[in-house]
Structures are given as structure tokens and as C-alpha cells.
Amino acid sequence: MANKRILKKDINYVLGDIIEAVYVWQFANPEKDDKESEKIIDEAIAVFDELIAKVNDRNVEDKKAHFKAINQELEAKGRSLIEKINKLK
């Protein structure tokens, strides 16, 4: 990972795109119930807050390994949220 600023941008872009995808789904399916899609948005916001808190943690010995772990967690949680969007009916 190059640096903290780039990791923060990646977190913002990935989770922002996921939230945008949910809004697109809601717009394309106005007759559908929004409860499940709103849960996905809430989860994306919670993941954002959690990852940003981890990035800002200053009590880390090996920053490179710490940032790499955060990046991997972002990928895993992002994929999980995308799968939930794809399962919306």
C-alpha cells in the first residue's frame, strides 16, 4: 500500500460505488420494497466507519502489513455487499 491517503480514497470510492449501485437499483425498481436495500446502505456506511477507524489507528507497529490487511478486508466486505445487491429482488 502506497500510503494512508490512497487507502482512504480507495475505501471511499469502493463503498461509495456500492451505495450508488443500491440507489440505482432502487430507482430502477420503484415498486419493490426498499427495506433490504436500505440495510445494504447502512452496512456499507458501517464498514466505511470501521475501516477508516482502522486506517487512523496510530498504535500499529507494522504499518505496511496493517494497511495491506485493511485493503484485503475492504475487498472481502466489498464483494460481500455486491453479492447482496445482486440478490435483491
Q: What pLDDT digit, counting tens, does each position of 41-76 carry?
A: 999 999 999 999 999 998 989 989 999 999 999 999
According to the model, what pLDDT value does residue 89 have?
Answer: 76
Contacts of residue 8, defined as CB under 8 A and 6 or more positions apart, other chains included, come to 52, 55
Q: How many CB atoms lie within 10 A of CB 29?
A: 13
pLDDT at 52 (0 to 100): 96
Which residues neighbour 74 within 8 Å (Cβ) at sequence distance 6 or greater?
10, 11, 14, 51
* Percentage of the chain modeled with pLDDT above 70: 98
What are the DSSP E strand ranges found in 1-89? Answer: none
Radius of gyration of the chain (CA): 15
Q: What is the chain's length?
A: 89
Whole-angstrom Cα distance, residue 9 to residue 66? 16
Q: With a cut of 70, say whether residue 1 has pLDDT above it.
A: no
Q: pLDDT tier at 2 (50, 70, 90 boundaries)?
A: low
DSSP-derived secondary structure letter, 46: H
Q: What percent of the chain has pLDDT over 90?
A: 84
